[in-house]
Amino acid sequence: GDSVTQMEGPVTLSEEAFLTINCTYTATGYPSLFWYVQYPGEGLQLLLKATKADDKGSNKGFEATYRKETTSFHLEKGSVQVSDSAVYFCALFTGTASKLTFGTGTRLQVTL
Amino acid sequence: NAGVTQTPKFQVLKTGQSMTLQCAQDMNHEYMSWYRQDPGMGLRLIHYSVGAGITDQGEVPNGYNVSRSTTEDFPLRLLSAAPSQTSVYFCASSEPGQGRRGYTFGSGTRLTVV
């Protein structure tokens, strides 16, 4: 079945540091890949997505590239801010199961 | 621009009590679903619906019932609450056949069963 593996947290960074959150997947079929963000006390918001190999999703300074050869979709940001503190979820959708398959989430804490 | 609205935001139940978590969307989305979020486990699908009158089970359906009488609403029922159902519940929706574009999530219901 489909699965998503993302790095364990929490990740603690100083403001303006470089961020990488690793995400790898296994899927039957040809998935679309997503990063969702959950700010404290809120629901999930779509951060970025990619629908085919080599696509790069980007939003709010975050980027992720769909790498079919390594089945990965790592999230990066060049300079994090305190306001980026949240839980980040990697997810995939194949259409065959009518659902999003999520990773376990990675908590990011950014300090001054 | 209400999107997906969930009520209540917080609820405490005693073991054995019943309740309904409400979910409504105003985007005319055919697809709606319920997930539960538990620490270290990400989000898991409980039930989903591809349109009014059509529902199906997800990966963790036991203890939950759903129905879909209108396009807008997709309530989740707990018939006899158990402590194992303590969780945060999210409702999500998408346009038909547009799951590849991503889902719109509600803000969640935090349920505690004591």
Q: Write the pLDDT tens digit of every residue in A37-85.
A: 999 888 899 999 999 999 999 999 999 999 999 999 999 999 999 999 9
Peptide bond before residue B8 is cis, with ω within 30 degrees of 0? yes
Instruction: Give the dihedral of Cα atoms B106, A33, A52, B25; nearest 10 deg.
Output: -10
Residue of higher predicted confidence among B96 and A93: A93
Compute the distance between CA of residue A77 and CA of residue A25 in angstroms, rounded to an integer. 20
Q: Three-state SS for A67?
A: strand
Q: What are A75's two structure tokens?
A: 């999230």
Considering only CB atoms, B100 lies closest to which of A32, A45, A102, namely A32
Q: What percent of chain B has pLDDT over 70?
A: 97
User: Looking at the complex, does the CB of residue B26 fall below 8 Å from at least one CB of chain A?
Assistant: no
* Predicted confidence band of residue B101 (pLDDT cuts 50, 70, 90): confident
Query: CB–CB of A45 and B105 under 8 A?
Result: yes
Compute the distance between CA of residue A92 and CA of residue A107 in angstroms, rounded to an integer. 19
> B-chain residues within 8 Å CB-CB of A100?
43, 45, 92, 99, 103
Computed on alpha carbons and rounded to an integer, the radius of gyration of chain B in Å comes to: 13
Query: CB–CB of A43 and B58 under 8 A?
Result: no
Compute the distance between CA of residue A107 and CA of residue A87 in angstroms, rounded to an integer. 4
Name residue, tokens 């505690």.
B112
